Amino acid sequence: MSKELDAIMRPKSIAIVGATEREGSVGKEITQKLIKYGFKGDLYPVNPKSETIFSNKAYKSILDIPSNVDLAVIVIPSKLVPKVIDQCGEKGIKGVIIITAGFKEAGKDGAILEDEIVAKLKKYEIRAVGPNCLGVLNSEEDIKMNATFAEAIPMTGRTAFVSQSGALGAGFLNISKDVNVGISNFVSIGNKADINGEVLLDYWEDDKNVNLILLYLESILNPQNFRNLSSRISKKKPIIAVKSGRSSAGAKAASSHTGSLAGADLAADALLKQSGVIRANSMLEMFQMAQAFSNCSVPRGNRVAIMTNAGGPGIMATDALCEHGLEIADIQKETKYYLTSFLPEAASVNNPIDMIASAPVEHYKKTLKSLISDENVDIIISIYLPLMGLKPIDVAKAIMEIKEENPEKPILGVFMAEKEFFAELTHVDTNLPFYQYPEEAAFAISKLDYYRKWLAKPEGTKPNFKVDEEKAKSIIKNAVKKGRDQLTTLESIDVLDAYGVRTCKYAFANGVDEAVKKANKIGYPVVMKITSTKISHKTEVGGVIVGINSETELKEEYKGLIERLKERNLKDALDGVIIQEMVKGSREMVCGIATDPQYGPMMMFGLGGIYIETIKDVTFKINPLTDVDAKEMIESVKAYEILKGARGTKPAQMDQIQEIILRLSQLVSTFSFIDELDINPLKISEKTGEGIAVDGRIQVRMKEAKKALGIGSCGCGCKCSK
Amino acid sequence: MSKELDAIMRPKSIAIVGATEREGSVGKEITQKLIKYGFKGDLYPVNPKSETIFSNKAYKSILDIPSNVDLAVIVIPSKLVPKVIDQCGEKGIKGVIIITAGFKEAGKDGAILEDEIVAKLKKYEIRAVGPNCLGVLNSEEDIKMNATFAEAIPMTGRTAFVSQSGALGAGFLNISKDVNVGISNFVSIGNKADINGEVLLDYWEDDKNVNLILLYLESILNPQNFRNLSSRISKKKPIIAVKSGRSSAGAKAASSHTGSLAGADLAADALLKQSGVIRANSMLEMFQMAQAFSNCSVPRGNRVAIMTNAGGPGIMATDALCEHGLEIADIQKETKYYLTSFLPEAASVNNPIDMIASAPVEHYKKTLKSLISDENVDIIISIYLPLMGLKPIDVAKAIMEIKEENPEKPILGVFMAEKEFFAELTHVDTNLPFYQYPEEAAFAISKLDYYRKWLAKPEGTKPNFKVDEEKAKSIIKNAVKKGRDQLTTLESIDVLDAYGVRTCKYAFANGVDEAVKKANKIGYPVVMKITSTKISHKTEVGGVIVGINSETELKEEYKGLIERLKERNLKDALDGVIIQEMVKGSREMVCGIATDPQYGPMMMFGLGGIYIETIKDVTFKINPLTDVDAKEMIESVKAYEILKGARGTKPAQMDQIQEIILRLSQLVSTFSFIDELDINPLKISEKTGEGIAVDGRIQVRMKEAKKALGIGSCGCGCKCSK
């Protein structure tokens, strides 16, 4: 990518197509903004009806401009846009920003018009932002381009922001300067006819003027590409995203556990996490983080020192830090000794350090310096409550001076002061974040720490296990041929077995006599399960009987089963029973695959058994997984404590369980038409600590499966097996 | 209470003891504040060294003041305070505010001094705020008393605030006017030598000038009194509290499950909930709520309509509302029809109603009015992003005008505008809350809705069951006599049985032969459990064996048990075994009692079995409980879904489980020395749906138990049984 967007982001000359002085028009806004912001290149207003616009010579058309033009900003009625693109092509312009609305967002006709434009852009090899957008801003000293019609002019800095919503972008610019977040680049991408967030991520990857990237996303069109890009770039600079639409997406209606637990937002959340993108749940959170990330280096650890002139906020900071899992730093003895040398007797030199209400600026300075030198402290929160006539801005300036000299250790200010103080701050070149409440600082620190951990996280490897791919394929093929998108339990277990998942011993039996024969061979106690293509959740018909200890018991239970099916008119649904080795162990996990319509296959792991849907102690990750991912999944559920061997149980074989997750990952990577897969329960053997797949279900997407396996030709999902 | 605090809160005359013009002194600050704020009564500066102070005649001592004095504000060195109290007594003064520090908070000598003062206050029947406080403020028109040395002068309103931290109180006053929260009363209670938060709650109960009470608490000294007061007053006006010290308290070290799950903050949280106090986790949250509560009536329901001029924030509001469990209102057809009559085609008339970026003030007005008339809408969020040159303050004023005419339905403004707008707002008499982010509004609404539910919640009754109190008493007495603070399983089960808790059939057996005999009588399958006074968690030594199906199996298992105990050198710990009816059912709950050192006995209910400590799906309430409380407990855990009969299991008998919780409540109300009690598991019978206590442990506080049961006299906790 690199230079390709320069025509848009760093133009030397801009044509404003639709420039005008007409009051209340977007064309006027854009022209004025470009002029007033002080664009460093040449501006060419284009308007067939004017000689000059705001004292600049105007041109009848782009083609009349005597010099080269890098960028055209287009603010004319939508129907006229295609013709202008043609002219841009003729003129050799390489970038356009189409502010104009009335395209895809406006219905069918607009969509046709947009398609027409996209075709032309491709033809002329022109890159475009928009249509239907707020515009683009670059605050670099030698560019100074404000090609937006937003009201607010942001502060200059090194934060880049891309917004999928124009209005929200305007809201962002409104607030950004209030919280001292300086902007280098701002792009409202509108309908994303060409340039989307991913293109910009790529552009900003090595941009020295961008050290923090903020995204407002409503959708992620190409999740895999987003993941590849973000996970690479986030190792160089932090990426923070607000992803809205958490609720509206709703959970996908699915018959499996894995499926029903995997709502669309879970997928988005997993994707962002695996991409190293730090998620904000609101613009407020985004700003809180942006303030910290644009002013703080990545901390060396998570030990936080709090210094304050009031006890209450110190306690509040401690509460909030602990809730985020951060450590309250253990202040060094030497530091404490030094602090006692000048702080009054009533002060506390333990963390939180309470310098009490009378603390003058001098005490703030000395205390802060000593904490910067303290090797037990990674991060410092400095709290100030305006008391005793001491002006907050004076305290703030003193802290900033010290920070200037000691840029490495993150320092965060908490000033429970009036708005006037924060208003004053906007006129100051701040070098640390200032919050009004301790909880905001604690939240921001938790995200700095999250990013620290992300940077430290090993890449991991995607293992390639030796598996019996052919066997798995033939089992699935057989089911699909018969028109079944859902494999029987037996088939499912066999596929798992072919992929090296430890499954429990079993045998299929048709009728009670065969059941007895097989059970005698496997050895008691056994479990008996119905196998049926028509019954999905077996427990609901009492179709799973555990702890059968003898031949007599088996016969009785078989009889009972048949009766229960009769009662529900389901007798014909019985294909036979499976007699299974009874794995002793009270811990039941679940492990599986769900498919998100947009984000593709996701792996699940967590607490299984009857608790799965109510307790929801499960975690998801987007496939494919590395070994590090799989390990993280296991360790991230609460039930991990149970796996470790709580209260006298046998510790589970974590490596083996991790391998099961990875083998499933390999399975769905190979057979991408697998829609859902459940191992529930994955029972933890009390004897060996192994995870053993006791039950399994696999469901495929019929059309895709047929195509991939080369079955039939109609592809209509019917039961033909040509 | 009523009038007793009037001397402090509504004095007609104030003596300022320690009034001075000395720069940098608190005495000067207080005097000036009282004068400048315009106290409506008489002010008498008291200073032996001055003739006048700020043009007011000064008196050598209180006793020299010629007229009656209601209140003395004391700002003199701590050692001089006792003498002044004597003078107050002599003068007949009924209230004092002791600003002076250097008492209990300053160590031993200070504490002695404070005790001396308390004694004097009692003697003279003087009520006091402080010592070591920021002071008291009353903004009522005919009072106008600012007896604080805080920098900020708050806006006038009907919110009362009491702070346990002086500095934080100052911080509160700083910020309150920024967010348009008007204050009627402000009290910094300092060391609470006399007046504490509860006294003030009582005072404000029927105060017409107070319609919202805010508390900043670091501790609750008398939880039962706090609960009685708050649960009554919160039915009249909302009470919001920040309770800090959530983390520092730490979990109580306890041997039982119930105990270890009940951290101190859980107790505080339960207390606040049961008292109808709405908890804020930060000052920010408190302000967000205060803005809503001081401007909105209690909504009729939880259906929220969103109107906006930008799509993004509308989605964000929807996300946040859904996360809080609120409903997105289903706009009436007529409303939609009306909206389409004037909104542009590109607008959306579904909720969120997107009036698009071009929306003028007129559209805000019309849309808002139509939503106020819509009976499907209980609450309205009106979002505005400054666009197209329309001034936020103009939109805000238009909304406020309509609110003025329609005060009933709660309307919340979300203005993603610059600080300047909010600064402008502080000069306006607002009648609705204005937030900068949609999430803040959604949060505030969730709390309005919480309060609506609290008001609608039935009182409930505390049932009194017929139980065999004598039997329970004699079992406990027997154990205590033998010097045991922990009852055996057998004893525990018997106590539960005496209190009408359904326990499973069992028999005690000593040795294998007796075990066989008892098991044959109960009938197989049975469970065998060790009983021991020395082993706490039986599963850790494999001391619980389930599913014993025959005499042979029983004998084998007994042998194995003995071997395991031998291995651990615990053979001597075996008192015998219990042979128990085996209750079939896979659902295991837990039910119990924990004791918080400060808040007293708490009831617990939740998911039991091996998951209890890792999944922590449990809930706590402070004893005593009503039937409504017990029902709420059951319904508030995730496992409730499992109880209801998920996936083909038998629905549990909720009433019977509720009764168990209430019977335990009665047990601990009678035997208040019970420290901990666990029923784990409370197994849900697959056959009947009953909750059956399969295992139980009861632990008492020895000293208290001995005293209550009339055992021994040494009370030292030794094993004597005199």
> How near does any CA of chain B get to the CA of A610, in Å?
8
Portion 430-469 of A in contact with B at CB < 8 A: 436-440
For B72-129, write each residue's pLDDT tens digit.
Answer: 999 999 999 999 999 999 999 999 999 999 898 888 899 999 999 999 999 999 999 9
* Confidence check: pLDDT of B290 > 80: yes
> How near does any CA of chain A get to the CA of B178, in Å?
6
* Confidence check: pLDDT of A206 > 80: yes
For A19-30, write each residue's pLDDT tens digit.
Answer: 999 988 899 999
Using an 8 Å Cβ cutoff, are A676 and A597 in contact?
no
**Average pLDDT in the A629-642 region?**
94
Give contacts of A439 with chain B, Cβ < 8 Å.
281-282, 284
Judge whether B518 is closer than 8 Å to chain A, CB to CB: no
Residue among B152, B177, B216 minimizing CB distance to A312: B216
* Confidence check: pLDDT of B722 > 50: no
Q: Measured between alpha carbons, how far is residue B21 from residues A18, A268, B135, B145 in Å?
A: 68, 64, 19, 19
Portion 1-40 of A in contact with B at CB < 8 A: 24
Judge whether A282 is closer than 8 Å to chain B, CB to CB: yes
The tokens for A140 are 């670099």
Q: What is the CATH number of domain B2-210?
A: 3.40.50.720
Give contacts of A248 with chain B, Cβ < 8 Å.
315, 318-319
Enumerate the CATH 3.40.50.720 domain ranges in chain A, comma separated.
2-210
Give contacts of B436 with chain A, Cβ < 8 Å.
175, 284
Judge whether B426 is closer than 8 Å to chain A, CB to CB: yes
Helices (H), A275-324: 283-293, 311-323
Judge whether A216 is closer than 8 Å to chain B, CB to CB: yes
User: Do the Cβ atoms of A418 and B174 come within 8 Å?
Assistant: yes
**Average pLDDT in the A670-685 region?**
94
* Residue in chain B lying closest to A325 (CA): B247
For A243-273, write each residue's pLDDT tens digit.
Answer: 887 664 333 333 344 444 555 688 899 999 9
For A345-358, write each residue's pLDDT tens digit.
Answer: 888 899 999 998 88
* Confidence check: pLDDT of A162 > 70: yes
> How near does any CA of chain A get to the CA of B671, in Å?
30
> How near does any CA of chain B get to the CA of A215, in Å?
13
For A125-158, write each residue's pLDDT tens digit.
Answer: 999 999 999 999 999 999 999 999 988 889 999 9
In the three-class reduction of DSSP (H, G, I as helix; E, B as strand; rest coil), residue A178 is classed as coil
User: Do the Cβ atoms of B611 and A614 come within 8 Å?
Assistant: no
For B205-217, write each residue's pLDDT tens digit.
Answer: 999 999 999 999 8
* Alpha carbon distance A365, A401 (integer Å): 9
Judge whether B597 is closer than 8 Å to chain A, CB to CB: no
Task: Tell me whether strands B526-531 and B576-581 are parallel, antiparallel or unpaired.
Answer: antiparallel
* Confidence check: pLDDT of A714 > 80: no
**Average pLDDT in the A583-597 region?**
90
Which residue of A30, A256, A387, A540 is the best one to mutate when testing the B interface, meaning the one whose CB has the most B CBs within 10 A?
A387
For A33-77, write each residue's pLDDT tens digit.
Answer: 999 999 999 999 999 999 999 999 999 999 999 999 999 999 999
* Confidence check: pLDDT of B592 > 90: yes
* Residue in chain B lying closest to A286 (CA): B437
The tokens for A230 are 């973000």
DSSP H/E element including A216: strand A212-217
**Average pLDDT in the A704-717 region?**
76
* Alpha carbon distance B471, B475 (integer Å): 6
The 10 Å Cβ neighbour count of residue B317 is 28
Enumerate the CATH 3.30.1490.20 domain ranges in chain B, comma separated.
505-582
* Confidence check: pLDDT of A557 > 50: yes
The tokens for B47 are 């200073």
Q: What is the CATH number of domain B505-582?
A: 3.30.1490.20
* Residue in chain A lying closest to B327 (CA): A247
* Confidence check: pLDDT of B306 > 60: yes
**Average pLDDT in the B375-397 region?**
93
Judge whether B676 is closer than 8 Å to chain A, CB to CB: no
The tokens for A160 are 């880049």
CATH architecture under which domain A295-456 falls = 3-Layer(aba) Sandwich (3.40)
Judge whether B683 is closer than 8 Å to chain A, CB to CB: no
* Confidence check: pLDDT of A318 > 70: yes
Residue among B247, B389, B542 minimizing CB distance to A319: B247
* Confidence check: pLDDT of B512 > 80: yes
Annotate B209-267 with DSSP letters as a single string. Answer: T-SEEEEEES--S-HHHHHHHHHHHTTTS-EEEEE--TTTT-BPP-SSHHHHH-BHHHH
**Average pLDDT in the B466-476 region?**
97
User: Do the Cβ atoms of B436 and A175 come within 8 Å?
Assistant: yes
For B607-639, write each residue's pLDDT tens digit.
Answer: 987 777 888 899 999 999 999 999 999 999 999
* Residue in chain B lying closest to A323 (CA): B247
Judge whether A556 is closer than 8 Å to chain B, CB to CB: no
State what percent of residues in chain B have pLDDT above 90: 72
Residue among B168, B438, B646 minimizing CB distance to A610: B646
For B489-503, write each residue's pLDDT tens digit.
Answer: 889 999 999 999 999
* Confidence check: pLDDT of B287 > 60: yes
Give contacts of A615 with chain B, Cβ < 8 Å.
607, 611, 615, 617, 638-639
Which pLDDT band, with edges at 50, 70 and 90, does B405 fall under? very high
Give contacts of A344 with chain B, Cβ < 8 Å.
none
Q: A–B: how many Cβ contacts below 8 A?
A: 244
User: Do the Cβ atoms of B438 and A282 come within 8 Å?
Assistant: yes
For B332-385, write each residue's pLDDT tens digit.
Answer: 999 999 999 999 988 889 999 999 888 999 999 999 999 999 999 999 999 999
* Alpha carbon distance B178, B434 (integer Å): 11
Give contacts of B105 with chain A, Cβ < 8 Å.
346
Give contacts of B306 with chain A, Cβ < 8 Å.
none
Q: What is the pLDDT of residue B247?
A: 63
- Model-level pTM? 0.89
Average pLDDT over all residues of chain B: 91
Which pLDDT band, with edges at 50, 70 and 90, does B715 fall under? very low
Which residue of A165, A191, A248, A553 is the best one to mutate when testing the B interface, meaning the one whose CB has the most B CBs within 10 A?
A165
* Confidence check: pLDDT of A452 > 60: yes
Residue among A281, A318, A540 minimizing CB distance to B648: A540
Which residue of A308, A647, A678 is the best one to mutate when testing the B interface, meaning the one whose CB has the most B CBs within 10 A?
A647
* Confidence check: pLDDT of B241 > 80: yes
* Confidence check: pLDDT of A13 > 50: yes
Q: What is the pLDDT of residue B98?
A: 97
**Average pLDDT in the B424-444 region?**
94
* Confidence check: pLDDT of B264 > 90: no
* Residue in chain A lying closest to B105 (CA): A346
Helices (H), A11-129: 26-37, 81-91, 108-124
Give contacts of A310 with chain B, Cβ < 8 Å.
165, 167-168, 170-171
**Average pLDDT in the A691-715 region?**
88
Judge whether A250 is closer than 8 Å to chain B, CB to CB: no
Strands (E), A385-496: 411-415, 434-435
**Average pLDDT in the B634-654 region?**
90
**Average pLDDT in the A487-512 region?**
92
Residue among A167, A319, A639 minimizing CB distance to B246: A319
- Among the listed ranges A383-397, A522-536, B133-147, B615-629, which one has the minimum average pLDDT value? A522-536
- Among the listed ranges A461-470, B644-653, B708-717, which one has the minimum average pLDDT value? B708-717
Q: Dihedral sign for Cα A470, A471, A477, A480, please.
A: negative
Judge whether A651 is closer than 8 Å to chain B, CB to CB: no
Q: What is the pLDDT of residue B717?
A: 46
Adjacent-strand bridge partners of A682? A589, A693
* Alpha carbon distance B467, A121 (integer Å): 85
**Average pLDDT in the B401-414 region?**
97
ipTM: 0.87
Judge whether A695 is closer than 8 Å to chain B, CB to CB: no
Annotate B262-279 with DSSP letters as a single string. Answer: -BHHHHHHHHHHHTTPEE
The 10 Å Cβ neighbour count of residue A91 is 18
User: Do the Cβ atoms of A385 and B171 come within 8 Å?
Assistant: yes
**Average pLDDT in the A119-125 region?**
97
Judge whether A537 is closer than 8 Å to chain B, CB to CB: yes
Judge whether B385 is closer than 8 Å to chain A, CB to CB: yes
Judge whether A251 is closer than 8 Å to chain B, CB to CB: no
A494-497 own/partner pairs: CB under 8 Å, 24+ apart:
A495/A667, A495/A696, A495/A698, A496/A679, A496/A693, A496/A696
- Among the listed ranges A497-501, A572-576, B329-333, B702-706, which one has the minimum average pLDDT value? A572-576
Give contacts of A587 with chain B, Cβ < 8 Å.
610
The tokens for A533 are 């293509």
* Alpha carbon distance B96, B82 (integer Å): 12
For B121-169, write each residue's pLDDT tens digit.
Answer: 999 999 999 999 999 999 999 999 999 998 888 999 999 999 988 888 9
State what percent of residues in chain A have pLDDT above 90: 72
Which pLDDT band, with edges at 50, 70 and 90, does B250 fall under? very low
Enumerate the CATH 3.40.50.261 domain ranges in chain A, comma separated.
295-456
Q: What is the pLDDT of residue A700?
A: 96
**Average pLDDT in the B470-475 region?**
96
Q: What is the pLDDT of residue A248?
A: 47
Q: What is the CATH number of domain A587-709?
A: 3.30.470.20
